[in-house]
Structure 1
Amino acid sequence: MIDQLANALDFSQQALALRQERHEVLASNIANADTPHYLARDFDFGSELEKAVERGRRQRAEGLALERTSVRHIPGQGPPLRSPLEEMLLYRIPAQPSLDGNTVEMEQERTQFLDNAMRYQTGINLASSRIQGLKNAMQPE
């Protein structure tokens, strides 16, 4: 039963985690807008979400088994591991490079930041309504 609930919410969890990571990257870009030679970074959300979902499926099938040093130990399985943020980050190509080598374009960063924040909030609302629907389905009439 718990596995089915976890599977039902797995996609939302992965999407929200990636949204949070993207939010941190965009905030870092905005914070370094005046730093000379700072290169703006971002990642392709769609492709990273596909990779995360596929990685989650593979790890659920294979499992991340914990080593048992005694037959009396309880076998355990750990949570799925995510790839480090550095692996998915790409550099942005600026439309108008600045003289100091900084590639942060504030209008684009603000737009991306706002878009990501709205999509994160939408994801929270969808996950919340999904949880509420599952709770209603489990309660007796």
Structure 2
Amino acid sequence: MSDRLFGIHGAALELRSQRMGMLTSNIANAATPGYKAKDIDFAAALDARVAGADVARSTDAATRYRVPVMATMDGNTVELANEQMAFAENAVAYSATLSFLEGRVNNIKRALKGD
């Protein structure tokens, strides 16, 4: 029923949340030798989710390792500026999706109250 009410926005919010966690992990491990930065191909994950895959499966299928522009000697592939930019971009998209869903919920509440 939630898919009919919220369309792809509910799935998008879940995926954005998963991506936020992955980007946070990358930032937290910026100084960890050998750490491989990962990200979610959001479009691929959303396509998989819309096709019926659960969040974990769609996220796993769309997870990609980052290829660094400048490799480090210790094997860490986190480029902090890129991770921070991706985090900020994802946070804005998460907020926009959440605002849309809040508006949708408010409309449903008004309809149920008869306003």
Bigger radius of gyration: 1
Taking the TM superposition and a 5 Å limit, the aligned residue runs for 1:43-54 are: 43-54=40-51
Q: Does residue 119 of the first structure (1) align with residue 73 of the second (2)?
A: no
| Matched residue, 2:25 | 28
Higher percent of residues as helix:
2
Q: Does residue 40 of the first structure (1) align with residue 37 of the second (2)?
A: yes
- 5+ residue gaps, structure 2, are none
CA distance in 2, matches of 1:89, 1:19: 13
- Could you tell me the TM-score, scaled by structure 2's length? 0.88
| Matched residue, 2:80 | 106
Q: Does residue 134 of the first structure (1) align with residue 114 of the second (2)?
A: no
Residues matched between the structures, number: 114
Tell me which amino acid in the other structure corresponds to 1:50: D
| Matched residue, 1:94 | 68
Q: What root-mean-square deviation, in Å, do the aligned CA atoms of Structure 1 and Structure 2 show?
A: 1.8
Percent identical: 33
- 5+ residue gaps, structure 1, are 57-80
Moved over 3 A (4+): 84-87
- Could you tell me the TM-score, scaled by structure 1's length? 0.73
